[in-house]
């Protein structure tokens, strides 16, 4: 399983607009991805309700993971999005 540990760069955490950006990006990477707070239960990263249920705040660490083959590039892109608090998924 590939995974990335990343600190949330959006000051407001994964709420409202940042959550929407992340969910769209997670759905667009082409592999199933989960997200969890450090030590927490992983949830579907492409589910808005699941993501909001995490209650992840800015500055907290989350773990992105995937069992899919060749998931490394997708996780790298999502990790960059989260850590830098970007408004869109970075180019491959």
Question: Which domain range does residue 6 map to?
Answer: 2-84
Residues catalogued as catalytic: 15
Percent over 90 (pLDDT), the chain? 86
Residue-by-residue DSSP string for 14-26: SSHHHHHHHHHHH
Element (H, E) at 77: helix 72-84
In a domain, 69, yes or no: yes
pTM equals 0.93
In a domain, 92, yes or no: no
Domain count, the chain: 1
Q: How many other β-carbons are positioned within 10 Å of the β-carbon of residue 84? A: 12
- Could you report the per-residue pLDDT of 10-40, keeping only the tens digit for each? 999 999 899 999 999 999 999 999 999 988 9
> What mean pLDDT, rounded, does the chain reach?
94
In a domain, 91, yes or no: no
CATH of the domain at 46: 3.30.1340.10
Confidence of residue 90 (pLDDT cuts 50, 70, 90): confident
- Could you report the per-residue pLDDT of 40-85, keeping only the tens digit for each? 999 999 999 999 999 999 999 999 999 999 899 999 999 999 999 9
| Residue 76 and residue 10 in contact, taking contact as beta carbons nearer than 8 Å | no
User: Among candidates 4, 2, 3, 12, which has minimal Cα distance to 55?
Assistant: 12
């Amino acid at each position: 399983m590939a995974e990335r540990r990343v600190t949330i760069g959006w000051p407001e955490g994964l709420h409202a607009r940042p959550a929407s950006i992340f969910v769209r990006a997670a759905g667009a990477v082409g592999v199933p991805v989960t997200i969890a707070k450090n030590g927490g239960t992983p949830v579907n990263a492409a589910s808005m309700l699941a993501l909001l249920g995490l209650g992840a705040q800015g500055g907290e660490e989350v773990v992105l993971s995937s069992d899919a083959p060749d998931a490394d590039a997708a996780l790298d892109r999502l990790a960059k999005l989260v850590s830098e608090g970007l408004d869109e998924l970075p180019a491959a």
